[in-house]
Amino acid sequence: MFTKVILLAVALQASRVAADVSGVIQADLMEDPVFTFACNNNFGAGCTACKAAQVCLGTENVADVDCTVTPATPYCNKDQCSSVPAEGCQPDAQVEKFICTAEGFFPDPKQCGNYHYCEKANAISDLYNCPTGYVYNPVTGLCKRNSSASDCVVIKCPSASGYGSYGTNKTLYAYCRYAGTPAVLTQTIVFKCAPNSAFDGSTCVYQCSKEGKFENTVNKSTYYECSILGGKWVSTLNNCPTNKKFDPTKQVCVTQN
């Protein structure tokens, strides 16, 4: 057991070398109750925090262990990593199912230390957890150090069903769905604008620079058309006929393969 926990501790330290890292560990933002375990002629492991342990050989601290390295047993309870938190430690908030709206990386709408990867639209995402002290960085698609309160960004939903913003980000946004009386938020669906488009509070608006038709890479069954009206650029989102997608080379909608 000692060898295993030492290797886990070394792996954790290595994951913190880069400024941006891939996420595998659940972020820990809550305060721990007081733990009294210390290396004082102890041989074995003991809990030093809600999600951390220490391995001792007498008075020597052999390794500090972060239990969140193993997502199935992220808490320290009864001197070992466990799936159940110790008394006084709160379980992590449950992450709701994430329904993909497109391929790629997406932030979790409620927890800034989590993010999702989607293989395709309408699938269920794969959830990734940033290391302790890190938050998701939508610019890189990885995790960055949580050095200030502004680094932790989540979806800000309105008080009724409608669109919510993702901080000052103009590429990501969400539709927040409420139900019941009083209204309870039941679902938050995250969307991503296509390149060269920005969220305006209700939809993605293509930033036109010339006239013509342009591919919507997020949803290829639609396309943008740019024109000039009254001396200003106008962007229109058009739908292709059923079972067809826009071909940017031919500039028309064609049957999907």
Residue 94 falls within a domain, yes or no? no
Residue 182 falls within a domain, yes or no? yes
- Report the pLDDT value the prediction gives residue 18, as an integer from 0 to 100: 41
- Report the pLDDT value the prediction gives residue 230, as an integer from 0 to 100: 94
- pTM of model > 0.75: no
Q: Which of 192, 211, 233 is the last residue of a domain?
A: 192
User: What's the rounded Cα separation, in Å, for the pair 198 and 179?
Assistant: 28
Q: Which of 82, 116, 137 is the last residue of a domain?
A: 82
- Report the pLDDT value the prediction gives residue 43, as an integer from 0 to 100: 79
Residue 92 falls within a domain, yes or no? no
Contact 15, 132 (CB under 8 A): no
Same domain, 141 and 186: yes
Residue 212 falls within a domain, yes or no? yes
Same domain, 205 and 172: no
- Report the pLDDT value the prediction gives residue 29, as an integer from 0 to 100: 37
- Could you tell me the residue range of the domain that residue 205 belongs to? 200-255
- Report the pLDDT value the prediction gives residue 27, as an integer from 0 to 100: 36
Same domain, 116 and 182: yes
Same domain, 204 and 161: no
Same domain, 212 and 247: yes
Domains held by the chain: number: 3
Residue 98 falls within a domain, yes or no? no
- What are 156's two structure tokens? 């800000």
Residue 119 falls within a domain, yes or no? yes
H or E element in which residue 232 lies: strand 232-239
How confident is the chain (257 residues) per 10-residue block, as mean pLDDT? 38 41 46 75 83 87 85 84 84 77 93 92 91 91 92 94 95 94 91 92 92 92 95 94 94 90
- Report the pLDDT value the prediction gives residue 181, as an integer from 0 to 100: 87
Residue 89 falls within a domain, yes or no? no
Question: Quick one: how far is CA 180 from the chain centroid?
Answer: 27
Alpha-carbon distance values, 8 to 12, 54, 64, 68, 89 (Å):
6, 12, 9, 10, 22
Residue 96 falls within a domain, yes or no? no
Same domain, 226 and 181: no
Task: Compute the Cα dihedral for 115, 118, 121, 125 and give only its sign.
Answer: negative
Burial of residue 167 (CB within 10 Å: 0-12, 13-18, 19+) is middle
